[in-house]
Amino acid sequence: MKRLSSQNEQAPFREELKFDRRLFLTGGLMLGAASLAGCQSAGLVGLPDQADLPDEEFDYATAYAALPDGDYTWPAINYKAFDRKYWRQVVDYKTRQRPGTVIVDPYNKFLYWTLGNRKALRYGIGVGKAGFAWSGEALIRVKREHPIWRPPQEMIARKPSLARYWEKGYPAGLKNPLGARAMDLWQGATDTLYRIHGTNKPSSIGTNASSGCIRMWQQDVIDLFNRVPLRTKVIVLSKDPEAEA
């Protein structure tokens, strides 16, 4: 997997400390009540003040509408043009992992945020070649709003005009390949170079993209970013769960 450098790579732990203050205030992962009746936020794991979970009356038109976000407004998603399975939704999901764990299934193009009580919040994803280059367990150690992006050297070799973005990075904004948010995965003090991030190519969701790690619609990656604290455990599956006997 080629390196997608972070603007925070020189001081990732300073970034972590900033977010860890928020984690401290929440008392870590709040293992919620067993009931998810109504799919509302009460008793949920994760950060406080997060949005309600999607339920039977969830307003997808609003969820995927154009989204003002600081200096940017992320375009609306034509979600009805995609298979409904890729829409943000609560699903039945059996796992032994603790509530609040993120599980990435790159084979079926899903990301699950486990809720307990055999439920999970599922998002559709797109998977770049880098997304199949790493699997295992890691922690979210850096969370970045409006991240910059540095093209990997193999991409620069194919398109030398991108070399100008290597030193200072591609600026944040609507055209940035990492999109609205990025969550960087670490194993101990080692950056896996694996990212969960937004995408400026919404049509890549549900597909194997040409580059990148795990892509999400901007509205979805912001939603996930607002739910998970630092040190959230992330598991990237090494084989297709639907192919298991």
Residues taking part in catalysis = 197, 213
**Distance between CA 104 and CA 77 in Å, rounded?**
22
CB 235 within 8 A of CB 102: yes
Label residues 17-53 b or e (16+ Cβ within 10 Å = b). eebeeebeeeeebbebeeebeebeeeebbbbeeeeeb
CA 187 to chain centre: 17
**Distance between CA 52 and CA 197 in Å, rounded?**
22
Q: What angle do CA 151, 152, 153 make, to 5 degrees?
A: 115
197 DSSP assignment: E
Q: Name residue 123's amino acid.
A: Y
Q: Name residue 119's amino acid.
A: K
**Distance between CA 233 and CA 186 in Å, rounded?**
10
CB 234 within 8 A of CB 192: no
CB 67 within 8 A of CB 174: no
